[in-house]
Structure 1
Amino acid sequence: MPPSAEQKTTAPAAGPAQGSAGVQSLARAFDLLERMADAGGEVGLSELSGTSGLPLPTIHRLMRTLVSCGYVRQQPNRRYALGPRLIRLGESASRLLGSWARPYLARLVEETGETANMALLDGDEVVYVAQVPSRHSMRMFTEVGRRVLPHSTGVGKALLAATPDEEVRALLTRTGMPAATEKTITTPEGFLEALATVRERGYATDDNEQEVGVRCIAVAVPDAPTAAALSISGPAGRVTDAATDKFVPVLREVARELSGVLASNGPA
Structure 2
Amino acid sequence: MADSPNDGVKSVARVFDLLELIADAGGDVTLSELSTMAELPLPTIHRLLRTLVSLGYARQLANRRYALGPRLVRLGEVANRQFGHLAKPQLKTLVDRLGETANLATIDGDQVIYVSQAPSPHAMRMFTEVGRRSSLHTTSVGKAILATLDDETVREIVARTGLPKSTEFSIDSVERLLDDLRLSRERGYAIDDNEQEIGVRCYAMAVPGAPVPTAVSVSGPVARVDEAFAERAIPVLRETVLDISTAISS
TM-score (norm 2): 0.93
Amino acid across the alignment from 1:257: D
Q: Which residue of the partner structure matches residue 90 of structure 2?
A: 104
Contact 1:158 1:204 in 2 (8 A): yes
Query: Paired residue for 1:255?
Result: 241
* Count, aligned residues: 247
One-letter amino acid matched to 1:241: E
Contact 2:28/2:66 (8 A) holds in 1: yes
Matched, 1:225 2:211: yes
Deviations 1:214-250 (A, max 9, x none): 1100000112110100000011111111110111111
Give 1:124 shift.
Answer: 1.2
RMSD: 1.5
SS for the counterpart of 2:137 is: helix
Q: Which runs of 5+ in 2 are unaligned?
A: none
Residues 120 and 228 in structure 1, CA contact (< 8 A), matched pair in contact too:
yes
Contact 1:157-1:204 within 8 A present in 2 as well? yes
Q: Which amino acid aligns with 1:213?
A: G
How far the C-alpha of 1:168 sits from its partner, in A, is 1.7
Q: In structure 2, how many angstroms separate the alpha carbons of the residues matched to 1:177 and 1:45? A: 30
Aligned 1:149-164 pairs, distance under 5 A: 149-164=135-150
State the partner residue of 2:37.
51
Alignment partner, residue 53 of structure 2 = 67
**Is the CA contact (8 Å cut-off) linking 2:148 and 2:206 kept in structure 1?**
no
Q: Larger deviation: 42-51 or 25-34?
A: 42-51
Report what 1:171 is aligned to.
Answer: 157
110-119 vs 39-48, which deviates more?
Answer: 39-48
| CA distance in 1 between partners of 2:232 and 2:5 (Å) | 50
2:130 is equivalent to residue 144 of structure 1: yes
Alignment of 1:94 onto 2:104: no
Check if 1:189 corresponds to 2:175.
yes
Tell whether the 8 Å contact from 1:225 to 1:263 is kept in structure 2 after alignment. no
Secondary structure of 2:86's counterpart equals helix
Deviation at 1:119, TM superposition (A): 0.8
Identical residues among aligned pairs (%): 59
Residue 24 of structure 1, aligned match among 4, 7, 10: 10
From the superposition, tell whether residues 177 and 49 of structure 1 become closer, same or farther in structure 2 (CA, over 3 Å): closer
1:243 aligns with 2:229: yes
Partner of 1:40: 26
Q: Tell me, which stretches of 5 or more residues in structure 1 are unaligned?
A: 1-17
Alignment partner for residue 120 of structure 2, among 134, 142, 165? 134
The one of 69, 94, 108 equivalent to 1:83 is 69
Q: Is the 8 A contact 2:193 2:200 kept in 1?
A: yes
Task: Identify which range, 85-94 or 166-175, moves more after superposition.
Answer: 166-175
User: Match of 2:88, as an amino acid?
Assistant: R
The alpha-carbon deviation at position 81 of structure 1 amounts to: 1.3
Matches within 5 A, 1:107-122: 107-122=93-108
State the shift of 1:19 in Å.
4.1
Change (3 A) 1:263 1:47: farther
- Stretches (4+) displaced over 4 A: none
Q: Is the 8 A contact 1:114 1:133 kept in 2?
A: yes
Please say if residues 36 and 81 of structure 1, whose CA atoms lie closer than 8 Å, have aligned partners that are also in contact: yes
Asked if 2 retains the 8 angstrom alpha-carbon contact of 1:165 and 1:192, the reply is yes
